[in-house]
Amino acid sequence: MSARSLDFQPDDITPSEGDPDTWKCRCGNLTGIGPGFFHLEGTREVDPAREPWPSEEYLCPECGRVCKNGENGPVVVRRLHMDDVILL
Ligand SMILES: [Zn+2]
């Protein structure tokens, strides 16, 4: 059994000042610098150009935090064990 904590807060992923399209995760992942944020459907990374993406969720592949892009920027809604995520 894993004892890893999967704590998260809704504001763990925030837009960069002056650039709402650039996000920064509390773990340090930053759009354009780190791996960025992947499109997620359930526990699977998807390519929205090739398949449905109704969840509109984004994954931070560094820490498993999952967010939706709300009117005021990203909102973290859950956090996954990366071992459980299927990447493209
Ligand atoms: Zn992260």
Predicted pLDDT of residue 72: 86
Other beta carbons within 10 Å of 29: 19
Near ion ligand 1, which residues have CB within 5 Å? 25, 27, 29, 60, 62-63, 65
Gap between the Cα atoms of 62 and 59, Å rounded: 9
Predicted pLDDT of residue 88: 95
Predicted pLDDT at 5: 65
- Per-residue model confidence as pLDDT tens for the chain (88 residues): 555 669 999 999 999 888 888 999 999 999 988 899 999 999 999 999 999 999 999 999 999 999 999 888 999 999 999 999 999 9
Of 10, 7, 64, give the one whose Cα is nearest residue 35: 64
Please state the pTM of the whole predicted model: 0.90
CA of 1 to the centre of ligand 1 (A): 23
pLDDT at 20: 83
